[in-house]
Amino acid sequence: MSSLLQDLRGKLDNCDGQLQKLFQERMEIIQKVAAYKKEQKLPIYDPRREAEILSRYTGSEQEFFRTLLRLSRYEQSLVLFPYNIILIGFMGVGKTSVGAKLAQHLGREFLDLDDLLEKRLEMTISQYFANQGEGAFRREEGALIQELRARQGVVIATGGGAILNSRNVETLKQQGRLVLLTATPQTITARLQGDRTRPVLGGEVTEEGIATILSQRKSAYAQAAQYTISTDQLTIEEVVDAVLTSLAQADN
Ligand code: S3P
């Protein structure tokens, strides 16, 4: 290696060492911010504050700070909610949309089980149901849940039938808290109108069909749930806030 390159690399290592020290210092302050927010019941994500910080920078510097802010939110989220947050409930209650927003809010990774299964199976869930049947799908779903057993600090959206298996519930509870999202058959019917991706409904979305399956599953959902949020009148953002409020209240 030329001595010039060696010299430049030495300088970079020095920069990185300083960055690391500053990063550690920042994260220590963030821990204190998290403790304060926990006590005062303030939200982790303050969009105005983040926009203000980001407006000081442009281009790749802005990118750098965007990442830093996400890591800071993640660090705070572990102080306030030191467990996985797992959304359960019937089709159409908003598990995927709420989960994605919630994860963004907390700087966490979002795992959508149906999405992961579709990638793994290399086909849509409807196609898999049609080719292999529901039993095979449930085995794949259960195997995936077992594989995710060790994951920590994530937000998970389950498929609507995942918690019908008590082993899945036990496994998910080991690292996480189960939050049930609910909606009336009427709301679910309206939300799923025109949706052909739910094989359990047999390709047809009717209020009677939904009410029947919902009543068969109601007690399983209620038994698995550690928190319940009724989503009928709420926007996605409002459900996210309601989830965070219930989790925060439970620890006080
Ligand atoms: C199912 C719900 C689906 C998917 C599969 C089976 C169910 O997930 O896992 O079609 O049994 O309720 P969503 O609840 O995300 O639609």
CA distances from residue 63 to 19, 66, 104, 197 in whole angstroms, order as listed: 16, 5, 16, 36
90 alpha carbon, distance to own chain's centre: 16
Give the domain ranges of the chain. Answer: 14-80, 84-250
> What CATH homologous superfamily does 84-250 map to?
P-loop containing nucleotide triphosphate hydrolases (3.40.50.300)
114 lines ligand 1 (CB under 6 A): yes
Contact partners, residue 205, CB within 8 Å, separation at least 6: 189, 192, 193, 194, 195, 198
Residue 87 pairs in a beta bridge with 157, 179
Position 15, amino acid: C
Tokens at residue 83, please? 């467990």
d(CA 50, CA 55): 9
pLDDT at 118 (0 to 100): 98
- Interval between CA 245 and ligand 1 midpoint (Å): 26
Residue 65 is predicted with a pLDDT of 98
Average pLDDT over residues 237-251: 93
The pTM of the full predicted model, rounded to 2 decimals, is: 0.94
The verdict on the CB of residue 108 being under 6 Å from ligand 1 is no
Q: What percent of the chain has pLDDT over 90?
A: 92
Q: What is the pLDDT of residues 144-194, one digit of tens each?
A: 999 999 999 999 999 999 999 999 999 999 999 999 999 999 999 999 998
Pocket mutation for ligand 1, best pick of 125, 132, 139 (most atoms within 8 Å of C-beta): 125
Angle at 161 between CA 213 and CA 94, to 5 degrees: 85
Does residue 20 carry a pLDDT above 80? yes
**pLDDT score, position 249:** 86
CA–centroid distance, residue 124 to ligand 1 (Å): 12
Q: Is the pLDDT of residue 252 over 80?
A: no
Give yes or no for residue 200 CB within 6 A of ligand 1. Answer: yes
CA of 185 to the centre of ligand 1 (A): 15
Query: CATH number of the domain at 14-80, please?
Result: 1.20.59.10
